Amino acid sequence: MKENKVKDITSRDIDFSKWYTDVVKKADLIDYSSVKGCMIIRPYGYAIWENIQSTLDKTFKKLGHQNVYMPMFIPESLLNKEKEHVQGFAPEVAWVTHGGSEKLEEKLCVRPTSETLFCEHYAKIINSYRDLPKLYNQWCSVVRWEKTTRPFLRSREFLWQEGHTIHATEDEARLETITMLNCYADFCKNILAIPVIKGRKTEKEKFAGAVDTYTIEALMYNGIALQSGTSHYFGDGFAKAFNIVYSDKENKLKYAHQTSWGVTTRLIGAIIMVHSDDNGLVLPPNIAPNKVIIIPIGKDDNLNKRAYEFKKLLECNGINTIIDNSDKSPGFKFAEAEVKGIPVRIEFGQRDLENDSVTMVRRDNGLKEIVKIEDIPNKVLELLAFIQNDMYERALLRKNEMTFTAKNLDEMEKIINKQPGFIKAMWCGNEKCEIQIKEKIGVTSRCIPLDNNEKISDKCVCCGKDAKELVYWGKQY
RNA sequence: CGGGAAGUAGCACAACUUGGUAGUGCGUUCGGUUUGGGACCGAGAGGUUGCAGGUUCAAAUCCUGUCUUCCCGACCA
């Protein structure tokens, strides 16, 4: 490996946690605020979120979803309507108890999630099968009073989207749940270059109030798993609690079936922990706010003029480009561009121009290439596609390398002591084993994979009784 | 929420042990010289030492509380 070119970033192989916070700060993604766990998302960090948002929003709309906005306050009585749901969220909600100096008659919870608000609304607007389905989504922030906080991975307020849909039948709702799970998985793969495991959560790990919770699980560089998105099938549980009924074609009253699904700013944490390196952020081209940075070397006016020409040329091809023509030294600019993870750097000086060429450098692997000026737009387009693809392939390879199998607890323990990662192992389906594995080995069930029928063994990894399912286990953020 | 560490200029740190009114480097501003991997010279600006109490003639320094950050656990996207 090359020497670390960036000052003040701890090596990720020496102290991964420290490295993560260093990158977050040095790339200028966030600043801390004076309230614990509440971060200021800086312009560069927010630009990444905006890209995530706009890409997903288009996909949602293509699939027929509409955006709405729900209030941020939930009356206590409303939150209390669905038992499991309250129990799951009550420990971490923030309450508003006063308006001005007046004590409120009923305290208001700051939404940790909006199921109850959507349900209350659906109960009002749904009467007939003709009113179904409703495919709503909202972009907003939610508040969960976390004890331990980390930028992007766990903050007390975070940005997300929450889709809430309601359907006439179970089949239709289940299809929606899986459709959205696939939508997230495809987004991670194609846009964020992050491979994920699609799966179902165990009873123990599922969302409070859900019949089934589906998840996409990504593996970070250090082998720790990150739940990166969830999609829930609610059955008619919420419909019963909130009395959401409709008249079907035979004029019989029926309960509706619901789903909800969401991804959060945590995805930014995933991008960092999957792709970035000791020189800072590495952004997949498809999500990078700026795809190219042009750095003219020297202060000749002509260099500047050419830089703007190149920028214009690239932007005509839809490639966001910035120029660094400050009077910092070239080395400084290179390092700065690397910390920020800009996928392609174009550098040129008088020497290059005399040969009608520029130098292009890839952020992901540092490879340099001399490119003829006339080839610039095509070459950049090609490079961006290569980078996107290579970043996914590298992440996939690393995920696969860090995915192990175990037939019994001893094997599990050996694996986890040597190198954290995903551990595939069979499970009998009994929650007692799940708890025991967590207590003894320190890993939790991540998911029961959807598209993997492998049989590691006939027996449960924990109790040795007949195995029912393959489970991905791992340490998690 | 438990266990540990830390908070002094934008950033990294020194001064704290032994109380006497804050310093270094980087950055920043201005002027100049530079430019192919974090340039150089000169001049300047920037601080009620996280906050609140207490001890004292006197507190960055000692004591108490509190807030924030980081690390390790338990809980969660």
Structure token digits, residue A475? 């340490």
User: Does the structure show a pLDDT above 50 at A29?
Assistant: yes
pLDDT at position A1: 26
Could you give the CA distance from residue A436 to residue A432 in angstroms, rounded to a whole number?
Answer: 6
- Report which residue type is found at A220: M
Q: How far is the CA of A364 from the C1' of B38 (A)?
A: 20
> Does the pLDDT value for residue A8 go beyond 80?
no
Chain B bases near protein Cβ (<7 Å): 1-2, 11-12, 33-39, 67-77
- Helix axis angle for A266-275 and A43-62, nearest 10°, is 110
Model confidence over A301-311: pLDDT tens digits? 899 999 999 99
> Tell me, what's the pLDDT at A33?
87
**What's the confidence (pLDDT) of residue A408?**
94
According to the model, what pLDDT value does residue A7 have? 57
Strand nucleotide closest to residue A359 (CA to C1'):
B36
State mean pLDDT over A434-458: 92
CA distance A243 to A236: 10
Distance B69 C1' – A112 CA (angstroms): 24
Residue type, A380: V
Q: C1' nearest to CA of A336: which nucleotide?
A: B38
Which nucleotide shows the minimum CA-to-C1' distance to residue A36?
A: B68
Per-residue model confidence (pLDDT) at position A2: 32
pLDDT, greater one: A83 or A252: A252
The share of chain A scoring above pLDDT 90, in percent, equals 86
- Tokens standing for A421? 């990662």
Render A179-245 in DSSP notation, one character per residue: HHHHHHHHHHHHTS---EEEEE--GGGS-TT-SEEEEEEEE-TTS-EEEEEEEEEEETHHHHHHT-E
Angstrom distance, A133 CA to B75 C1' = 36
- pLDDT bin (cut points 50, 70, 90) of residue A154 is very high
Task: Give the whole-number percent of chain A exceeding pLDDT 70.
Answer: 98
pLDDT tens for A66-114 read 999 999 999 999 999 988 899 889 889 999 998 888 889 999 999 999 9
Per residue in A14-28, pLDDT (tens digit) is: 889 889 999 999 999
Q: Provide the pLDDT for residue A301.
A: 84
Put residue A353 in one of left, alpha, beta given phi > 0 → left and psi -120 to 50 → alpha.
alpha
Q: Is the CB of A476 under 7 A from strand B?
A: yes
Residue in A397, A49, A366 with CA at minimum distance from that of residue A194: A397
Highest mean pLDDT among A297-311, A323-337, A382-396: A382-396
Q: Say which nucleotide is closest to residue A357, CA to C1' distance.
A: B36
Strand partners, A259: A165, A233
A115 touches strand B (CB under 7 A): no
* CA neighbor of A262 nearest in space, from A219, A216, A198, A224: A216
Distance of CA A291 to the CA centre of its chain: 20
Reported as a pLDDT band with limits 50, 70 and 90, residue A142 is very high
Q: Is the CB of A91 under 7 A from strand B?
A: yes
Contact A156, A144 (CB under 8 A): yes
Q: Is strand B within 7 Å of residue A85 (CB)? A: no
d(C-alpha A125, C-alpha A380), whole Å: 51
Q: How confident is the model at residue A103, as a pLDDT?
A: 87
Q: What's the pLDDT score for residue A3?
A: 37
The pLDDT value given to residue A300: 84
Lowest mean pLDDT among A25-34, A245-254, A390-399: A25-34
Tell me the three-class secondary structure of A254-305, residue by residue: EECEEEEEEEECHHHHHHHHHHCECCECCCCCCCCCCCEEEEECCCCHHHHH
Instruction: State the pLDDT confidence band at A238, using cuts at 50, 70 and 90.
Output: very high
Measured CA to C1', what is the nucleotide nearest A143? B77
Give the tokens for residue A128: 């007939």
- CB-strand contact A58/B, under 7 Å: no
Nucleotide nearest A154 (Cα, C1'): B77
- Per-residue flag: A20 CB under 7 A of strand B: yes
ipTM: 0.90
A230: how many CB neighbours lie within 10 A of its CB?
A: 22
First-to-last C-alpha distance (Å) of chain A: 28
Taking each helix axis as running N to C, give the angle between helix A16-26 and helix A266-275, from 0 to 180 degrees, rounded to the nearest 10. 110
CB neighbours of residue A437 within 10 Å: 25
- Is the Cβ atom of A373 within 7 Å of strand B at any atom? no
Q: Is the pTM of this model over 0.90?
A: yes
**Mean pLDDT for all residues in chain A:** 94
The amino acid occupying position A395 is: A
